Amino acid sequence: MPELRKHPIYSKRRKSKRQRQGAPSIELIAGYRLRLVFAILAMGLLGLMSRMAWLQVLQTSELQSKARAFQVQRVQPLGARRSIVDRQGRLVALDEERFHLWAHPNNFRFPGDDSEVLRKPLDVARKLSGLIPKTTDELVELIGNRSSGVRLARELEPEIASEIKKLGVSGLELESYLQRVYPQNELFANVVGFLNDDRVPQAGLEQSLNKILSRKKEPVRRLRLAGDDTPLPDDLAPGVFYRDDAQLQLTLDSRLQELSIKALQRAVRYWEAKKGVAIVMNVTNGELLALASTPTYDPNQFWKYPSDLYKEWSVQDLFEPGSTFKPINLALALQEGAIDVDGTVNDTGIIKIGGWSLRNYDLGSNGVMNFAEVLQASSNIGMVKAMLKMNPSRYWDWLHRLGINERPKTDLPGAVAGYLKPKKEFVDKPIEPAVTSYGHGLSLTPLKLAQLHALIANGGYLVSPHITRGIKGGEAPQISEADNNSPLLRPEVTRVVRRWMESVVETDSVFGFKRIDGYRIGGKTGTADKLVNGEFGGGLKVCSFVANLPADNPRYVVLVVIDEPKGGGAYGSTVAAPVAKEIIEGLLVLEKIPPNY
């Protein structure tokens, strides 16, 4: 042992050659230190493993749900309700974002303010007064001494809301919501309807097609996102980014609709009438290019108007069509063989039927007439004598077959059936078919009358009038189809009646409807007295005019009806025909209809 102790390694005083040359010395670490470091490292590793086990085993569900909240986006439709567009794609109704502005004075701070700073309402009011329709004093008074939940403004536009956000004022809250907006104002109110403040549909297509117009409420897809919000490609299915942007497209043309309603409004004002309607229908498929009525309302401010304006009277109110029904009756008589194409009748000016004396509207007589001349003179006596040749039972059956007393198949909300006397009464009382021959004793809606004249125009087919084409970019709504797949009337019958109607316009027998150069147009006026307290003679009338064009191969029917015009010269030819002519002139241009000659 003494020899070992003298070994250089155990000698503290003896220096090695490296030490003598200035090299760093190497010292042994005590064993307890190594054990202490190892214990600390082992304890830290054990702690990490315990924490990992705690997170991955015991807190798995909680942490996974938190992660999904950040990583998964629920892709939802853009809005709550689909837009409505016209046949040209012009917006008729849409959802727009609006904002309510709330103030919480107990949290008023400007950008850069210390957390202990609290701004006065006057400071905030000065910044807001130029953005919202309230003065600084009004805002300060509105806030008062309240500490929170003060509504400062309603229905703010997105642009204004954006400017308020840029202020960066803490304590101002913008509450967003969707508002239904109607860019065309009153132009389509009669058919589209509106939503109330609670977004509940109240009228028109908004109400009748509510399910179709409502967007899907459930999210389309759960989409995983990376930390920078980039969609992760795993588990992506086709259509994951799809948003429900489908729109309901109408058959109506806003240009023709505007032209029609302005022409109607001028006539209603001039004649101090109660109301008016104009219909333009495609006779081949029943599409309505215009369905205008007045008076109407602005759906953006529906609360300012009486509720009786919310309905569309052209499909909900009945009237006796008068002489505009005469072409329909002549077509039925021709179809049954009761009259001949070249037949005549003797208009004696008065005829007694079942104890009743019937006369022409002008109390005159016209002598022997063919049926084109019956329409030209609008002879009541000529029509009575023509329809007396038809079996009353067959006559009623035809009126029923045309659907006079049935609700028409249409997508127009609120459409009602017309009125036709019971068959027994019609057959047993000769006066009933007699007055029906010139458009009295039965009643229908203007829409139904347009449908029946489309039957004459298209060769005998009863098409269903409708105003919706379908959903662009989505499923199609249930649109009414034609009542019959085969014609009700023989094509040759309808051609004859159209020729007779054309003669009405060609002979200038319609004083308010002069010929349009180059175009062949058929037409017929109507002036029907209205019942007052169950009797005629009160001076109230319904004036109408119906036209088909081009007469050789019609594509359109135009009907104008004006209710209760005032004045001694109020007739279908003077009241309704000028309106129809103005609409037809616009239709020829908009639809690029070439002249016949």
Residues with a known catalytic role: 323
- Answer for the pair 347, 366: CB distance below 8 angstroms, yes or no: yes
**373 bridge partner residues:** none
Q: Which residues contact 80 (CB under 8 A, 6 or more apart)?
A: 95, 178, 199, 214, 215, 217
How many residues in total does the chain contain?
Answer: 597
Distance CA(249)–CA(490), nearest Å, equals 34
How would you class 182 by CB atoms within 10 Å of its CB: exposed for 0-12, middle for 13-18, buried for 19 or more? Answer: buried
In degrees and rounded to multiples of 5, residue 517 shows phi and psi of: -55, 130
Chain centre distance of CA 31: 89
Per-residue burial over 357-386, b = 16 or more CB atoms within 10 Å of its CB, e = otherwise: ebebbeeeebeebbbbbbbbbbbbbbbbbb
CA separation, residue 414 to residues 238, 261, 310, 315 (Å): 41, 21, 11, 7
Exposure of 560 by Cβ count < 10 A (0-12 exposed, 13-18 middle, 19+ buried)? buried
User: Distance between CA atoms of 43 and 53, rounded to whole angstroms?
Assistant: 15
Strands 288-294 and 275-282: antiparallel
Helix pair 121-128, 136-143: axis angle to 10 deg: 140
CA dihedral 462, 520, 261, 544 (to 10 degrees): -70
What would you report as the CA-atom Rg of the chain, rounded to the nearest whole angstrom?
A: 41
User: The tokens of 58 are what?
Assistant: 């015991």
Tokens 């007064």 -> residue:
129
Structure tokens at 507: 């002979």
Which token pair is 350? 């008065």
Local structure of residue 414 (DSSP, 8 states): T
Pure H helices in 480-576: 491-506
The amino acid occupying position 101 is L
Token pair in block for residue 305: 């108007």
Q: Reply yes or no: is the peptide bond before residue 550 cis, omega within 30 of 0.
A: yes
Instruction: Give bridge partners of residue 150 from the DSSP assignment.
Output: 103
To the nearest 5 percent, what fractions of the chain are helix, strand and coil?
A: 40, 20, 40
Q: Which residues pair with 240 in a beta bridge?
A: none
- Contact between 192 and 309 under an 8 Å Cβ cutoff? The reply is no
Tell me if 281 sits within 8 A of 253, measured CB to CB.
no
Q: Which two tokens stand for residue 184?
A: 């065309």
Closest CA to 328 of 407, 416, 399, 410: 399
Report the distance separating Cα 536 and Cα 194, nearest Å: 38
Phi-psi domain of 141 (left: phi exceeds 0; alpha: psi -120 through 50; beta: other): alpha
3-state secondary structure of 305: coil
Alpha-carbon gap, residue 558 to 291, rounded angstroms: 10
